[in-house]
Structure 1
Amino acid sequence: MFKKILKSTDYYILCTYLVLVAFGLIMVYSASWPLAYRNDLPADYFYVKQIKNALVSVVFLTLFALFPYKFYQKNKFLMPMMIVSVSLLIMVFFVGHTANNAQSWFRIGGVSIQPAEFVKISMIIYLSAIYAKKQPYIDDFNRGVLPPIFFLAFICFLILIQPDFGTAFIIFLTSCCIIICSGMRLRTILKLIGLGLLLIGIFAVILTILPEDIRSKIITDNRLGRLMSFTNPFEYADTVGHQLVNSYYAIGSGGLFGQGLGQGVQKLGYLPEAHTDFIISVIAEELGIFGVLLAVGGIFFMIFRMIIVGMRTKSSFGSLLCYGTASLLGIQAFINLGGATGLIPLTGVTLPFISYGGSSLMVLSILVGIVMNVSMLNNYQRKFGPGAETEQIPKKKKRIRAKKPRLSS
């Protein structure tokens, strides 16, 4: 049985994952030691913490890769999962820890856990399971489409008012990708787009009538400054634009081969959040275009492989899980890279598998493990299923013996 599991493992996804995590550990150490030094911490403080995060994440990936993914589709799992998700998002307003003007974390001892990160998993599983079950009436707008949409809007609203615009935006876009891949007709999708525009209008109205103290927590001066600096960061280089300007300096000075691992300058107090949001800038400065290609190419190869697995999967639920995870990786990578390069406003989103952060790495590892289980089941059935066995082991031809004629008396 163990040999069959090894033969069924998707080594394309597994090896890419391990390379990205190992590369991330190297870059976290290189990008974080100046920050540790300024805070009178050991030089390897963030590196050691990220190693622990990586070890736990690999354990999670292994467990979820071996656990049958079809169990997640059962109501006895789905309902408790969503109840817990909503409860955690509500609890964070009462006992949550505030950082960067957002009350989004639980502080347990010295460990910070962001529940909104784990809601990414529950929403991908929930929407994949619900729309897989609704395939016979997927275009019935009132019965097949709307109920999950209203629940998605409620989840995004809870995350928005923390406020955490980046995570809410990622969950919303990922959910949209799952809905588009669910098999709905174009007419149904156009109705959803109209409903989405209506919800945005309602949210804008609610935002205007909220009390000033609540509205100021959602639309902070920092967020307004990011929008202003996005158009012309050099005009605000001394204030809200200094992050993007120093990111440009780091990327521009890297060239083809970079300044050398550990030799970057911008991380020495010029570039904030060098080990999290702007780690791609440190990679570009120290390793050049080849380091960037390793990071970005690895992520998008994994996305491509997940799409292939989804296309080969006969189960609607398994396919949507693969498409949802691939969408999450692609959207999160685009937002991080777009923010660091000035293509879109900064939102404070980590680069998958590479940036420092335990919650993000664990969540992505769990989802990668689920996709690996989908792929393993496909490979197992193809290689060791009844059909494969009959093809591999041809049946022996039976010899037809001639019957002896009976002697008539």
Structure 2
Amino acid sequence: MKQYIKRYVKHFDYPLFFVYIALAVFGLVMIYSASMAWSVNYYDDEPDRFYIQQLINLSLAFPAFAIAAVFPYKHFGKKWMMMTVLAVVFLGLLLVHLIGYEAGGARSWIDIGFVNIQPSEVAKVGIIFYLAGVFSNKYKKGNINKLNESIAPPVIILTLVLLSVFFEPDLGSMMIIGAVGLSVMAASGISFKFFAKMAGWVIAACAVFIVPIMLFASDMIFTEKRLGRLDAFFNPFSDELGFGLQIVNGYLAIGSGGLSGLGLGQSIQKLGYLPEPHTDFIMSVIAEELGVLGVLFVLGGLAFIVLRGLSIAMTTKDPLARMLATGVSSMIGIQSFVNLGGLSGIIPLTGVTLPFISYGGTSVILLSLAMGVLMNVSMFHKFEKSKK
């Protein structure tokens, strides 16, 4: 292990590392700014409540990044690792249905005393590791395009994960997991014909369970809150004091910022007009306080990570490295789009957090773990290129 670390650490990807750190620290500062009034007025607590909690989250996230960065990524192609990942993912998804509690309209959290865990966040990362391991082994054996050997097991696993998240119900996370899973499959080296079949199998398998439920138990899925969010998507100003409140005040925050913003800490909308401004609508506060420049800083950082990951995926020769890099970068890109699309009105709100920026322990820890794996793959890729 010592020799492994010495060999790869000299190829450390400093730009990727510093962008990740910059986003995490910037997010911490903006969480403090966005949550002060909310913490005092709605939680009757100290103004730094969420800042301190996120600081604790980052104290766990950075070691997770460091461990993943030096842990040989090739272990993800081993059977014991794939089984371990699946066990953790399904245990979390099972427990959330048995002992989980509801927040934001979804039963998606587990309270274990000193910390709350969101299993769907674990599933996002876990499905990348599992699918990358499975398909890299299929690719090496030369049976990547065989229907019975390649498609059935991963399709069943992915479908079960999607259905479990659907029944929470957390439709935003379900959409992200499905898209990320298909992204990993697309990068596996499989032919377009078989990729289309796999995508079709996943969609069909989910539809078999979801369509009857939507027809006969629609009250469980189409709750008043979700229907309200859908109405707010089409016309938020029709109910600007109700379901459109968050979107409308998000628009006001974004529109107030201009080029350079009102100044750090000077947001008006965070003072009670914008619900939970430190979570999925934190970009609205960034736009109001730091203007277009602050928004471009975040978008530029996220875009750099996504493009860096995709660049590694397209140039590495190792199929496992290719799929891990594709999975991690696509997860960050897709989740960013879902978050920003919701607050800008491009898609309906889903409650998905903005990677590295929004408040959330499980999210930032799992994203940091995934970033560590991407760093590991990047170091291997640079080592691979140095041997030429």
Give the shorter-chain TM-score range.
Answer: over 0.9
Matched, 1:288 2:286: no
Which of 173, 182, 205 is the aligned partner of 2:211?
205
Contact 1:353 1:361 in 2 (8 A): yes
Name the structure 2 match of 1:314: 317
Residues 4-403 of structure 1 mapped to structure 2, 5 A cutoff:
5-38=8-41, 39-135=43-139, 136-199=142-205, 201-208=207-214, 210=216, 212=217, 215-383=218-386, 387=387
For the residues of structure 2 that align with 1:356 and 1:137, how far apart are their CA atoms? 43
Q: Distance in 1 between matches of 2:52 and 2:271?
A: 20
For the 8 Å contact 1:65–1:372, the answer to whether it is kept is: yes
Q: Is the 8 A contact 1:313 1:374 kept in 2?
A: no
Report Cα offsets for 1:101-158 as digits up to 9, x if no partner: 3221111224111111111121001111111111212222222123211210111101
| CA shift in 2, pair 1:5/1:202, >3 Å | closer
Give, as a single letter, the amino acid of the residue that structure 2 aligns with 1:312: T
TM-score for the superposition, normalised by structure 1: 0.89
Residues 40 and 205 of structure 1: is their aligned pair in 2 closer, same or farther, counting only changes over 3 Å? Answer: closer
CA distance in 2: counterparts of 1:271 and 1:381, whole angstroms: 49
- Match of 2:177, SS? helix
In the alignment, is the contact (CA less than 8 A) between 2:85 and 2:129 conserved in 1?
Answer: no
How far, CA to CA, are the matches of 1:83 and 1:68 in structure 2?
A: 20
1:121 and 1:193 mapped to 2: Cα distance?
19
Q: Secondary structure at the match of 1:227?
A: helix
Secondary structure of 2:46's match? coil
Q: C-alpha deviations, 1:254-284, integer Å up to 9, x for none?
A: 1111111100100111111210110000000
Deviation, 1:6, is 4.1
Count, aligned residues: 382
For residues 223-271 of structure 1, the C-alpha deviation after alignment (integer angstroms, 9 at most, x for no partner) is 1111111011111212111111111100011111111110010011111
Tell me, yes or no, if the aligned pair for 1:12 and 1:305 is still in contact at 8 Å: no
Runs of 4+ in 1 over 6 A off after TM superposition: none
For the aligned residue pairs, the C-alpha RMSD in angstroms reads 1.7
- CA contact under 8 A between 1:29 and 1:44: conserved in structure 2? yes
SS at match of 2:266: coil
Amino acid at match of 1:367: A
State the distance in 1 between where 2:245 and 2:128 align. Answer: 36
Report what 1:398 is aligned to. Answer: none
Q: Output the amino acid matched with 2:147.
A: F
Q: 1:219 to 1:123 in 2, by over 3 A?
A: same
**Structure number, greater radius of gyration:** 1
Shift of 1:188: 2.0
Partner Cα distance (1:196, 1:95) in 2: 28
Distance in 2 between the 1:196 and 1:79 partners?
A: 21
Deviates more, 1:139-148 or 1:44-53: 139-148
| 1:307 Cα deviation after fit | 1.3
Change (3 A) 1:239 1:9: same
Quote the Cα distance in structure 1 between the aligned partners of 2:150 and 2:206. Answer: 22
Q: Is 1:329–1:352's contact at 8 Å kept on the other side of the alignment?
A: yes
Change in CA separation of 1:76 and 1:292 when aligned onto 2, cut-off 3 Å: same
Percent identical residues: 41
Secondary structure (helix, strand or coil) at the match of 1:267 reads: helix
Q: 1:49-107 CA deviation, whole Å, 9 max, x = no partner? A: 11111121011100110110111211112113212321221122222222223221111
TM-score, scaled to structure 2: 0.94
Is contact 1:97-1:103 (8 Å) kept?
A: yes
Q: Using the alignment, how far apart are the partners of 1:208 and 1:290 within structure 2?
A: 43
Partner residue of 1:397? none
User: What CA deviation, in whole Å up to 9, does each residue of 1:186-206 have, x standing for no partner?
Assistant: 222333344345345423432
Partner of 2:102, secondary structure, is strand
Output the CA distance in 1 between the equivalents of 2:79 and 2:7. 30
